Structure 1
């Protein structure tokens, strides 16, 4: 990390925009505002202020200025925000002026959140939740990221840490004051093993939701399969409201996998159109059929149109041409041309995928969190099965260390650098 000075960055969206927000954090934040506007408003009071070039006196903008005095700010430092017109030229001029001021420099990716972590304003799981919230594209992603950013994982970790500390204290007391080896073993059995088992089970419950959270993070896949001319491409185009797939009466038109990202029921979904499943002597079409079967086999949900002769897990049988004919079975009937039944189809897809999504309970949201929490769980398991109280105490210490790495308290600077380098600049 560069030396600790006052940092600044554009914290709003891409330019041009109606409004741009420049964030400044550090001991010289107030002086920077005074240099640009001649005064700094009282803390937490917005002020409409004329901004000028400190050197030339040129008028730059009449902008809104906010100041947050340390420690009552996001980073725990003095923080100022300049809310100005989202002009590329104006923002570039302001950034150039800030860079020329003593003790100011442009922020690195995630540096504001890194400073908030150092100040104890949030832990690493909350910082990662904020980053996930910025990247969220669907309601389900937003909800999961918001729980992490709001501190649900942190609160759970603090509770686990308190329980661990009590267990370690009980175990150390038994080691210090046990009258005999038998007393120590008995104390370990009665006072430590059952609470260790309970704590391990509670952590296991949180880890059980990790697979669903990771699935949500990478998005769900829904493949449309069936024989040629079953209406697969028309259905994909209608559901996605695009012309991504070529529609033709000629069999074998789709020869490669076509993917379209969608939001269905607040879930991130990739809708996949595939080649018609049939035997063919055409090597190109045969490769398309092979790819279609492979993608459908790995999909979270398969919409099957017609009788393809191939069955997949998690199938949803659909007849996509109910405006032309009526199927003899109880398949869901829709018309990709008229729109009949499409709302019902989308609702069913959302329900089927929603059952695979994480519930409202807090869970880890990335591989780093999962790794450290699983390590804590494994150490608790070893502590529970240790016949030697000294070994049990060591496993409990390692479990506590794993929780410290989960929340960022014991992470190395190199690891924190790697985590925050993936954040956007200005966060």
Structure 2
């Protein structure tokens, strides 16, 4: 296997840059530049020089032995000065050492997967952690990276294997000391796993929203103060405001961190009947985006009509342009800021309530694998309802369920996913 190297920190000027080497020649290559290496997991200051003895830098060197590193291989990290010239000189020197090559995007993490240090769900969690912009995203990614989903899968797998073993024992060793009727225990195991799978599947949609962002649509009739409110929330002129109705023709998006949650606010076209073809298209888009949004804020005018869109149970309905409506209750004004703090607090509370229901599965790929497992368990339960004469078929259904769960962790049948997943990682990961 090749020994690979790459800069693990971001490109550009920095106080410190980290260059990582992984593979069977990692220690010998590092020794060629540093002269000697510190003991594993102990930092040592070394003067680095190329093959001709030309000084390159003075750096901290860290060594990790095979089986006790991020990739599961021999690894060395140089913590050098972070100037582009220093990094380029070190990478060039490593590239001239026989048996070393520059890593491909995500190759360090791919080796961690291949060597059993991480499972595929943890790899996805690491990718999400590197992309995290908000506190909720960080917490969710860290939970997946910690192996929480893998631990659940292992518990489900053990229960299914136990159930299948009981059935097969009944089939193969009917004359031995085996319980005559294992159905109650098997049924209990399958019911428990099926319920846990359903709970995880139900939480995936919210987990995806935490990763990709919640959408909150501001809707209402023309001139209700929607664009002004969006600008106030954004703290900048994101949308054009005018006293003339129909100014907003397309959906305008502003993404922000709302109390640790990623939220995209949508300013939509005013809802009304219009003979203008372009405005009509904008209104149709507004309705479609509002219906697909996670939450809607209705800003009403003097008529109090919602113009064709019915608020949901958690949607927020307010009087727009509250600064012009004397004594209006439940109003908000983007111009003066009246009611905005209360609106933001209500949105945060609603979305935080949804986010609190998240579990450990975070992607549609996870949900699909769990649906396949759940379907196989349901088939097994159906076979068991027909009696022990179909126990062999039930046992095969449970083996299918186990295989479905193993695809979730990348143990089988996921080769076609790997290139796409790792292509999103940087060279140093």
Q: Do these two structures clear the TM 0.5 threshold for a shared fold by scoring above it?
A: yes
| Equivalent runs, 1:345-384 vs 2, <5 Å | 345-357=343-355, 359=357, 361-362=359-360, 364-384=361-381
Displacement of 1:147: 0.8
- Partners of 1:273 and 1:191 lie apart in 2 by 55
Distance 1:107 1:162 in 2: 37
Deviation, structure 1 residue 360 = 5.4
Q: What is the number of residues matched between the two proteins? A: 418
Structure 2 equivalent of residue 389 of structure 1: 391
Match of 2:250 in 1: 256
Question: 3-state DSSP class of the match of 1:272?
Answer: strand
Of 386, 399, 421, 2:423 maps to 421
Aligned to 2:21: 24
Partner of 1:44: 41
Mapping 1:208-247, distance limit 5 Å: 208-247=202-241
Are 2:196 and 1:202 aligned? yes
Contact kept? 2:207, 2:358, Cα under 8 Å: no
Is the Cα–Cα contact under 8 Å of residues 297 and 312 in structure 1 kept in the other structure?
no
Measured on the aligned residues, the alpha-carbon RMSD in Å equals 2.3
Aligned residue in 2 for 1:313: 311
Q: Does the residue aligned with 1:371 lie in a helix, a strand or coil?
A: helix
**Helix, strand or coil for the counterpart of 1:290?**
helix
Structure 2 Cα separation of the partners of residues 319 and 42 of structure 1:
68
Given that 2:322 and 2:333 are in contact with CA atoms closer than 8 Å, whether structure 1 keeps it comes out as: yes
Query: How many angstroms does 1:39 deviate by?
Result: 1.9
Deviating runs (4+, > 4 A) in structure 1? 183-186
Query: Deviation of residue 187 (structure 1)?
Result: 2.3
Structure 2 counterpart of 1:284, from 270, 278, 303: 278
Given the superposition, is the C-alpha separation of residues 292 and 207 from structure 1 closer, same or farther in structure 2, using an over 3 Å criterion?
Answer: closer
Other-structure match for 2:160? 164
1:273 maps to 267
Counterpart position of 1:187: 181
Distance 1:82 1:380, change over 3 A: same
Structure-2 separation of matches of 1:405 and 1:51 = 44
Q: Are the counterparts in 1 of residues 231 and 238 from structure 2 also a CA contact under 8 Å?
A: yes
- For 1:87-102, what aligned pairs fall within 5 Å after superposition? 87-102=83-98
Shift of 1:46: 1.7
Tell me the secondary structure at the aligned position of residue 181 of structure 2. Answer: helix
SS of the aligned residue for 1:178 comes to: coil
| Aligned-partner Cα distance in 2 for 1:127–1:133 | 10
CA shift, 1:36, in A, is: 1.9
Q: Structure 1: how far apart are the matches of 2:369 and 2:307?
A: 45
Pairing 1:304–2:293 present = no
The equivalent residue for 1:398 is 400
Distance across 1 between alignment mates of 2:171 and 2:420 = 40
For 2:227 and 2:183, how far apart are their aligned partners in 1? 64
TM-score (norm 1): 0.91
| Aligned match for 2:339, one of 335, 338, 341 | 341
Report SS of the residue matched to 1:61.
Answer: strand
- What are the superposed Cα offsets for residues 150-187 of structure 1, whole Å, 9 maximum, x if unpaired? 0110111111122222222211211122249xx99962
Distance (Å, rounded) in 1 between the aligned partners of 2:414 and 2:230: 48
Mark the runs of 5 or more structure 1 residues left unpaired by the alignment: none
Does the CA contact (< 8 Å) of 1:185 and 1:389 recur in 2?
Answer: no
Identify which range, 232-241 or 249-258, moves more after superposition: 249-258
Partner SS, residue 209 of structure 1: helix
What is the Cα deviation at residue 327 of structure 1?
5.2
